Amino acid sequence: MSITQPKSTTPRKAIMVFSGGQDSTTCLIQALTQYDEVHAITFNYGQRHAHEIDIAKVLAHKLGATSHKVMDVGLLNELAISALTRDSIPVSTALMDNGLPNTFVPGRNILFLTLAGIYAYQLGAEAVITGVCETDYSGYPDCRHDFVRALESALVQGMDRPLRLVTPLMWLNKAETWALADKYGQLDLVRDETLTCYNGIEGSGCGQCPACKLRQHGLDEYLANKAAVQQQLASKSQNG
């Protein structure tokens, strides 16, 4: 005679590092179907496009996040000089002498994911979700798979508690990220109501900054080849 084990009544919780941009909004949409509670956290570091904080507040509420915390980490602005932390530095497509874009904010994801990990500890969450991506990224070293795994290991060891840093977009290109939003029926919301633009313009943005160009290129590719891109997405989901 077999005995059926009772299902666990402990809710599955996740922390979503949420900027209100295309990537983190798409990740939030997906996470809400996978966890019982999704607690969004947005960081105010004096960023150039501060309007993203207002967008994040609206979207977290609209999409149904369990809670939404906005955390002041202005110290990062004092330490990290970047086009995203200084209005006096124009956003440029040219690389700096160190080979990185001038929109790179050194230490940003180290700080954000560490603080989100502490928040996960506090709430008893099993995962921290972030929209970083290595396939179609902007040349930021703190968006790479190896970095995320290294920090995950450090957080687990440092807090002596299981924790996963989840990166749903890590191996997706921008067209596949649009396909993921469409899979959950939220392509229009992501296209019209998120803020990815470095100049702080929601929706399609300014159309000129690197973030806008990458986003639009991916959307154009997806809309021109929906079936094929959805198939690519499904294949990566099955293998990953």
Residue list, annotated binding site: 18-28, 197, 206, 209, 212
Q: How far apart are the first and last CA of the chain?
A: 37
Distance, CA of 16 to CA of 69 (rounded, Å): 10
> Is the distance from CB of 41 to CB of 14 less than 8 angstroms?
no
DSSP string covering 66-125: SEEEEEE-THHHHH--STTT-TTS---SSB-TTSSBTT--TTHHHHHHHHHHHHHHHHT-
Query: DSSP state, 173?
Result: -
Token look-up 């209005």 returns: 87
Distance, CA of 78 to CA of 72 (rounded, Å): 13
Query: Which residues are annotated as part of the binding site for ATP?
Result: 18-28
Closest CA to 49 of 93, 87, 104, 79: 87
Distance, CA of 50 to CA of 221 (rounded, Å): 29
Token look-up 């450090």 returns: 154
Cβ within 8 Å of residue 47, ≥6 positions away: 77, 84, 85
Burial of 13 (0-12, 13-18, 19+ CB in 10 A): middle
Query: Which residues are annotated as part of the binding site for Zn(2+)?
Result: 197, 206, 209, 212
